[in-house]
Structure 1
Amino acid sequence: MSTTRRFLLASSLARLIEKERGGHRVIEGYFPIHADRSAFVQVTGQAGSLVLVTSGPSGVRNEPTELPQSQAEALLDVTAGRVEYLRSDLSIGTRDVQIRRFTVPSPFDLISVEFERETEAQDFHPLPWFGPEVSAEASYETSRLAFEGLSAVPQVLVSDAALNSLLDTLENRFGSSSHLIPAEPKSASWTPAPSSVSEASAPANLEEDVDDLGIEDSVIRELARSLRPRPQ
């Protein structure tokens, strides 16, 4: 049975990933959930599909059926709830990671890692650029987000170690043994940071500084590189 682990992601890091790897817009509309099955419509670019989700002894199973874009968009209008996000894909070693930058119902960023077996999920160590894990929190399941949204938008701070770790990942340097060290344990719970608080570390304020100064997205990578320590 497949297992998915989910982690929050700092918005500034998500923007950097989007700038480097691009992404595609996805809209998902969900129909009311029944005891043993549910369904949702997904539109990605010019492709559409209707996905039947069933629960059984072997776990949750998705059965997609392709639809013309016009029909999928028509079905979106009659769904009970929807989400919209920009999806980017990364590879960490041999593991595929999905980054989703949600815009509807609330703006926030999420990392999803899928595993074929539970043992693989347990053995996986998140990298320092991963935020707090929210795998056990049902409110971050896509269907729940579509119907209920989030009661508050999470804020995830950026550390120097997180920024350097992400740059290594983007530069395909994950294979080095020095980058296989697990991140320090983080609590899945979070407290939104007051807007008046100012962090001393420049990387922790990367997103705030970028927004305040009006720097274009094309400069984010150069700024990130300038924050990396020079080799001796």
Structure 2
Amino acid sequence: MKTARRFLLDPSLARIIMRECGVDQQVIEGYLSAQSGRNQFVRSEADQCYLVVPLLGPAGEPVDEPAPIPQTHGESLFELSVGQISYTRVCLPVRSPVSQKMLLDRVIYPDRCDILTVEFDDQQEAEAFSPAPWFGPEVTGEDTFERRYLALNGLPTLPEMLLSSLQVEAVLDLLDQAKEAPEATRQATAQEVVVALARSLENSGMVKGTSKTSAPAGEEPATEQLEQPMKRVAQ
């Protein structure tokens, strides 16, 4: 059964992450009832409104089922809502072999706080996960940090979070690794294209392939002569 662990995050670290990674989603949610067990809410995201009815999945896990509704209907439901929350979300790069997805929510309204959610395929993976040094206090299972509670009641008292230089360095390392991965993939792809094209030209007879015998002194095999300038073009 899918599960998640949640952690608070120092606002300075959250700001660095958002600045480097950008924003994936900008969301406003309006909860339609404060009564226990009535968790329906309306969501506005990317100029589209949804009516969301939380249900239970096949394994008993909570699942949100958003149903698209017209913008005018959504606006009317927002007017009827008894509590609202606004937040921005970004999906972070994950290097852990057990974590499935890492989401950072920067809550803007009704109060400001930053909540990091790490999702897993099952409870065993969640228990095996070791939080990174830049994570703040864990708030898994604390209803006071659920979006519905925040919308209806506001932000509870936050625990003290002391920011250290080691935490800042860890976040910067994470962001650097996220930048390096696409660049390494791009370079590997360019190299594969160069090699494939060189082989294609050899097979067509347009250039001669490398011989098993040694090339004459001062001469390089034709394929390598072709490949080097093509590398420069690809780069």
* Alpha-carbon offset, residue 71 of structure 1: 2.5
Which of these two proteins has the greater Rg computed from alpha carbons? 2
Which ranges in structure 1 are unaligned for 5 or more consecutive residues? 176-232
Name the amino acid aligned to 1:53: P
Are residue 19 (structure 1) and residue 19 (structure 2) matched? Answer: yes
- Helix, strand or coil at the partner of 1:38: coil
Are residue 9 (structure 1) and residue 9 (structure 2) matched? Answer: yes
Residues 83-136 of structure 1 deviation map (CA, whole Å, 9 limit, x = unaligned): 111111112126321111111111111101122211111111111111110112
Query: Which among 134, 151, 156 is matched to residue 156 of structure 2?
Result: 151
* Alpha-carbon offset, residue 174 of structure 1: 11
Matches of 2:85 and 2:93, distance apart in 1: 24
- The aligned counterpart of 1:73 is 75
Which ranges in structure 2 are unaligned for 5 or more consecutive residues? 181-235
Q: Report if the CA contact (8 A) 1:96-1:113 is conserved.
A: yes
- The aligned counterpart of 2:211 is none
Consecutive aligned runs of 4 or more in structure 1 exceeding 4 Å deviation: 33-37
- Helix, strand or coil at the partner of 2:80: coil
Indicate the percent of aligned positions where both proteins have the same amino acid. Answer: 37
Matches of 1:97 and 1:163, distance apart in 2: 18
Q: RMSD of the TM alignment (CA)? A: 2.3
Q: Report if the CA contact (8 A) 1:107-1:153 is conserved.
A: no
* Alpha-carbon offset, residue 34 of structure 1: 5.5
- The aligned counterpart of 2:43 is 42
Matches of 1:115 and 1:98, distance apart in 2: 12
- Helix, strand or coil at the partner of 1:73: helix
Structure that is richer in helix per residue: 2
Q: Report if the CA contact (8 A) 1:41-1:49 is conserved.
A: yes
Aligned residue pairs: how many?
175
Matches of 2:87 and 2:178, distance apart in 1: 28
Matches of 2:47 and 2:178, distance apart in 1: 34
TM-score by length of 2: 0.67
Matches of 1:143 and 1:127, distance apart in 2: 27
